[in-house]
Amino acid sequence: MSGPVNVRLSDDGKAVIIVDQSALPGELRYLRLETLDEMYEAVKTLRVRGAPAIGVFAGFALCALSAGMDKDADFKNRFLEAAERLSSSRPTAVNLSWACRRMTEACSRAICSGSEIDAALLAECTSIYEEDVFMCSAISSYGLSLLKPGMGVLTHCNAGPLATSRYGTALGPLILAAEKGIPIRVYADETRPLLQGARLTAYELMEAGVDVTLICDDMASWVMSRGLVDACFVGCDTVALNGDTANKIGTSAVAILAKHYGIPFYVLGPTSTIDPSCRTGSDIRIEMRPWEEITSLYYSRPVAPEGVKCLNPSFDVTEASLISGIITQHGIALPPFEESLPALIKK
C-alpha cells in the first residue's frame, strides 16, 4: 500500500515511516518506528504533528503494532492498552483519539484469527488515510473559492502537507492557488515557541512556489493595519459543537486582531476534528508542554535566565464569535455554528 510522503506504513507492514518534522528545514530525515514507545515519543515530541497527520499516523501505528503481536486470548486487551497510551500523547488533538477509537472498533469487530484481524486493521487505517486525502482536496477547493487573485492571507502555525496527507488544511487553498497560477500573498507567523510557521510553513510554501513572507507573531497587528491582509486561514486541533476552536497558542490573538481590523477569519479542518463531547471551548483540555521549549529549544544557548518559571500552554481557544466560517471537506459552516456544524457532521 502506498502512503503519504510524511507518514506511511512500511513495506513490510511492521513499522511506520515518518518525516521527522523536528529536524526541518535543516534536514529531511526519515524515521522508522517499530515500538509503541517510539511511536508515543514521536507524537509527544512533535516529530510527527498536525491534527490530521497524527490521526493517519495512529492508524498506521496500531496496524503495525498488531502485526507484531501474538494473537492470543489477551491480544485485544493489549491492543486496547496500546491504543489508549498512544492516544494520551497529545490530549488536545481530537483526530488522534478519533483514529485510535476507529482502530480499536475495527479490532473488536474482527474475527479472532491473526490474519483476519490484521486485514481488518489494514483496511481501516487505509480508509483513514484515503479519507484524509479526499478531505485535503475538498477543503482546499472550498477554501480556494473564498480567494481572489492578489489577496493577502495571514496564517498561524502549520497546517500544510506535513500536517496532513496532501495539500493540507489552512495551507491547502494557498498551495492549490499556486498550482492554478492564482497569485496569493501569504504572511506566515513564526509561531512561538516551536516555530512551526518559520520552520515548516515557510518551507512548504516556498517549495510550492507561493509568495510567502515570514513575520514575528507580534507583527500581525502591524501587517493588518497596513491593509496587507485580506483574510486569515488557520487550522484546528479541536472544534467544539458551538464553534469554539482550539489551535496552536497565539491563534486567538490573531482572531481578535482580525476582528478589530474587519478581516474575515476562517478555520479549516475535517469534520473529524469536531468533538461531540465538547459543547464549548471550556470543555477542551489544553495540553501543557515543557518549559525548555520557551527557554532553550531551537537556540544555540538558553535565552532566559536559569531557573525562571515558565508557562507553556500548547493551544488556546478562539471563541466562535470571532470566526467567520469553518471550512470542512463537506462545505463551509457559517454562524450560528450550533446549527451549521451538526448539519455538516451528518454528511
Catalytic residue among 237, 244, 275, 316: 237
Catalytic residue status for 237: yes
What the block records as the C-alpha cell of 57 is 499516523
- Secondary structure of residue 278 in the 3-state scheme: coil
CA atoms of 323 and 220, how far apart (whole Å) = 17
Return left, alpha or beta for 44; rule: phi > 0 is left, psi -120 to 50 is alpha, else beta.
alpha
- Distance in angstroms (rounded) separating the CA atoms of residues 316 and 227: 26
Taking the CB of residue 112, how many other CB atoms lie within 10 A of it?
12
Distance CA 148, CA 183 (A): 8
Q: What is the three-class DSSP state of 2? A: coil
> Whose CA is closest to 240, among 169, 163, 317?
317
203 phi and psi, to 5 degrees?
-60, -50
Which residues, 6 or more positions from 212, have their beta carbon under 8 angstroms from its beta carbon? Answer: 186, 187, 188, 201, 202, 205, 206
Half-sphere exposure of 280 (CA within 13 A, CB side): 3
Q: What is the CA radius of gyration of the chain?
A: 20
Kindly list the distances between the CA atom of residue 257 and the CA atoms of 84, 151, 214, 237, 242, in Å, as whole numbers in the listed order: 38, 18, 18, 21, 21
The set of catalytic residues is 237
